[in-house]
Amino acid sequence: MGLRRKIKKFLYNLKYPNAKFIIDLNKKKVLVTGSNSGIGLSLVKQILEHDNQVFATYREKSDKLDGIKNVNLFKIKCDQSKTEDYISLENKLKNVNIDIIINCAGIFGPSFKDQEIENISLEKFRDAIMVNSLSIIKISQIILKNSKPQIILNLSSDAGSISLNKSGDAYIYRTSKSALNSITKNMSVDLKKKYGTTVLAIDPGNVQSGMNSKGYMESDKCANIILDIISNNVEELNGKFINLSKNELSW
């Protein structure tokens, strides 16, 4: 890593100190999607450390999840682009009361070049919308059949903010995250009224992961900050789109 990058990474991490303490996050049943890598995997590990049960979904391979030996970890295969996988997810969660949903699964979609307007494939666009946006509706439908979750946290991106868009690129990723933001806002009004559920979206920042191999922040640190946020007065964040400093981003 070049010196310039090292300095940028150092300064970036200074902006987001490690969370000090996690309170009030134990004995919960937590569903984490996209949990075989990156932020999702780090969240699973840390949530388990706090005496919770974790229902961790993965797309295809569960190799990294398999390395976690914990009786409170329940692995469920769910490729969120496939309708049949939701049926098996529903069957596996039939008798489970989920307290917290963390929707981590996400894809960037095709390369930047293939997300230029001249090159966009509508099929690939549809796939990204399915995984990044519509799956949140489907998963919520499944969980709401048995549970009144306290929290639904959606991993969004500042790329999904319409007003912050200054570069005009990545149509597929941006649109799918904008749709996710819209769904988040709507659910925050609707589900708060019906079930008291707090629903919010978070931009995790620049995190090293499967999607972003050169990210500045370690996924463990990101997960630690996210858990601190959802375990301290999260109700105040209902209907908000925030970053890791809890600052609000414009939709």
Ligand X SMILES: NC(=O)c1ccc[n+]([C@@H]2O[C@H](COP(=O)([O-])OP(=O)(O)OC[C@H]3O[C@@H](n4cnc5c(N)ncnc54)[C@H](OP(=O)(O)O)[C@@H]3O)[C@@H](O)[C@H]2O)c1
Query: Which residues, other chains included, contact 92 with Cβ-Cβ below 8 Å and sequence gap of 6+?
Result: 55, 74, 76
Nearest-approach distance from CB 88 to ligand X, in angstroms: 13
Nearest-5° Cα angle at 187, 181 to 193? 150
| Residue 193 token pair | 């009224």
Contact yes or no for 224/18 (Cβ under 8 A): yes
Nearer to ligand X, 115 or 209 (CB): 209
Nearest-approach distance from CB 200 to ligand X, in angstroms: 14
| Residue 66 token pair | 């398999």
Nearest-approach distance from CB 17 to ligand X, in angstroms: 18
Query: What is the rounded distance in angstroms from the CA atom of residue 173 to the CA atom of residue 155?
Result: 13
Residues binding ligand X (CB under 6 A): 34, 36-40, 59-60, 79-81, 104-107, 131, 155, 157, 203-204, 206-207, 209-212, 215
The CA-based dihedral angle spanning residues 227, 42, 196, 26, taken in that order and rounded to the nearest 10 degrees? -70
Nearest-approach distance from CB 230 to ligand X, in angstroms: 15
Nearest-approach distance from CB 22 to ligand X, in angstroms: 20
Nearer to ligand X, 27 or 67 (CB): 67
Query: 3-state DSSP call for residue 235?
Result: helix
Nearer to ligand X, 22 or 102 (CB): 102
Nearer to ligand X, 131 or 172 (CB): 131
Nearer to ligand X, 8 or 148 (CB): 8
